[in-house]
Structure 1
Amino acid sequence: MSITTDFPKPTMVAVNGVELEVFEAGQENVGNPIVLCHGWPEHAFSWRYQIPVLAEAGYHVIVPNQRGYGNSSCPSEVSSYDIEHLSGDLIGLLDHYGYEDAIFVGHDWGAMVVWGLTLLHPDRVNKAINLSLPYQERGEKPWIEFMEEIFGEDFYFVHFNRQPGVADAILDKNTSRFLRNIFRKNVPPVPPQPGMMMINLAETETPLGEAIMSDGDLDVFISAYKASGFTGSINWYRNLDRNWHLLAGVNPVIQQPALMIYGNRDTAVAKSETLSTFVPNVDVINLDCGHWIQQEKPEEVNRVILKWLTKKVVI
């Protein structure tokens, strides 16, 4: 039987004023929750290789499509996607299942949410495991303003904010091509192209590198985005400066045990030089892969996570 057909069936869970499409496994392990948080442009299906392994290891695995994704609610207000709302959704999930806290795992934007959740609601996070995106220190300038100065107006984070709706329409028009072109590995290094990277990916006929998934698995992502469109998920980017302001008064140091997993070939995210300053109880693992870590190296990711969780069990 294929991974696709083995994937859990979803249920809709009302939390925090929205409905989330939630996939569960290991319900027999109630009392030992682990919540997996996808990135962009992803889907709960990004965790298809981790879900059965974690359930088999004794965890109650909870995997939401976060707001703006899949069949979950897509509010129209941009501010509905700030870190207070996104972390509030995860708190709502814990409350729904009756959990005081949980282990949270995030990849890419999901990692950003897990870091933010841990800052805003430290008593609800038992341990944090993040892939690709390390803790982002707040700095003296709002993030988009800083990125615009360093990378320019065509950098996709900046473009999403300064030209709202432009990229959304192009990605909606070229959903299959964009997703086919972005989910790649072993992409040869090429000089930066003029224009906005995500728009270029959506309009490029021939992708570089190798596909990270089968056509059948890719169809799960394509179908989801054809139904939802991209605006809800891109609105996460449009709250970075708002998040910077929201986190102004928060203690920036995370004390929970944390695991950071990098892909050594990840060109999307730089490794942090200050990670242990802000996350003093962090362990760092480097894997030989690109950005889509848990899909590129599923067995290694599963092994690393389970070994680390076993080591971090308090007797």
Structure 2
Amino acid sequence: MNRNADFPAPTLISLGNSHLEVFEAGRENRGNPILLCHGWPELAYSWRHQIPALAAAGYHVIVPNQRGYGNSSRPAKVEDYDIAHLTGDLAALLDHFGYEAATFVGHDWGANVVWSMALLHPARVTRIINLALPYQPRTPVPWIEFMESVFGPNNYFVHFNRQPGVADAVLDAHTDCFLRNLFRKNQPPAPPEPGMMINLATAAAPAGDPVMSDADLAVFIAAFEQTGFTASINWYRNMDRNWHILAEVDPIVRQPALMIYGAHDMIPPSENLADFVPNVEVLSLDSGHWIQQEKPEETTRAILDWLAVRQTA
């Protein structure tokens, strides 16, 4: 991994039946943990701009490559990527470090895991900062069925589930092109295309500007060329299983929370976020979807400022 020189070296941590590749900073700040959870198709490296600033501000920063990513466990069974396993990994990571609870920060799919962490392991979460993806209330029918009825069969969530292996093969065959075309900013507004992920993997001329340098992009390309995309896409293939897992869980997130939107993200702000997250504050940055990489200084400042006035949950 030819990462930024300031990025921490990894440690492979055994969690019993799985292991996670974890990057740490600020070990001298033990007792003040903050866990950063990446999205898809990203890595712990997506937090490279925030890690040193959080450590300098007094936090023990713990950033895993989550299950299915990098050198972390990549089990073969689809159901091993459900929300019980994903949040269970984070709870086990707290146990490993001897922490009862921590502040959690998530982006994209990582935000979904953090919201679910607050539902399934509420005592382990003191504060929440999520980027891009607001809390997703349970739909009247399972999520993929609901999304298919609204967006049609070629929506990538639906496609990943209804045509297993098809998108995986295309992305694996065009890893460089896919990631180069996906990590863009300043894109003209447009509705999502049917099969957008496959289209991006084969598009010759992406819209907008690169989010990151070629050197940083190379870190992501090398990782997914090594692992392929199936394990990470399996997170999507558990959407309906997650819908059932959360059926009997109290749906209210009671911890203090900060929701950071990208003003130009195709994911719209939630209209009823405060109904499910009553202690939430909302901030919008002049950004697309890849908020903490596109606007690193602004994101870091927003996180530190919010944490500074909420020293206790």
Band of TM-score, shorter chain: over 0.9
RMSD between aligned alpha carbons?
1.2
CA deviation map 1:223-264 (0-9, x unaligned): 000001000000000000000000000000011000000000
Q: Structure 1 residues 258, 190: closer, same or farther in 2, change over 3 A?
A: closer
CA distance in 1, matches of 2:140, 2:122: 23
CA distance in 2, matches of 1:192, 1:246: 29
In the alignment, does 2:38 pair up with 1:38? yes
Q: Structure 1 residues 191, 107: closer, same or farther in 2, change over 3 A?
A: closer
Partner of 1:231: 230
Q: Percent identity?
A: 65
CA distance in 2, matches of 1:26, 1:289: 28
CA distance in 1, matches of 2:127, 2:235: 24
CA distance in 2, matches of 1:302, 1:296: 11
In the alignment, does 2:198 pair up with 1:199? yes
- Do the aligned partners of 1:174 and 1:203 also contact (CA within 8 Å) in 2? yes
Gapped regions of structure 2 (runs ≥ 5): none
CA deviation map 1:113-146 (0-9, x unaligned): 0000110000000101100000000121111000
- Do the aligned partners of 1:185 and 1:212 also contact (CA within 8 Å) in 2? yes
Partner of 1:71: 71
* Aligned pairs (5 A) from 1:1-315: 4-190=4-190, 193=193, 195-267=194-266, 269-314=267-312
Normalised by the length of structure 2, the TM-score is: 0.98
Q: Structure 1 residues 28, 247: closer, same or farther in 2, change over 3 A?
A: same
CA deviation map 1:12-46 (0-9, x unaligned): 00115111000000000000000000000100000
Q: Structure 1 residues 114, 166: closer, same or farther in 2, change over 3 A?
A: same
Gapped regions of structure 1 (runs ≥ 5): none
Task: Name the count of aligned residue pairs.
Answer: 312
Q: Structure 1 residues 198, 285: closer, same or farther in 2, change over 3 A?
A: same
Normalised by the length of structure 1, the TM-score is: 0.97
Q: SS at the partner of 2:4?
A: helix
CA distance in 1, matches of 2:116, 2:16: 17
- Do the aligned partners of 1:10 and 1:22 also contact (CA within 8 Å) in 2? yes
**Superposition deviation, residue 160 in structure 1:** 0.1
Runs of 4+ in 1 over 3 A off after TM superposition: 190-193
- Do the aligned partners of 1:3 and 1:48 also contact (CA within 8 Å) in 2? no
**Superposition deviation, residue 191 in structure 1:** 5.9
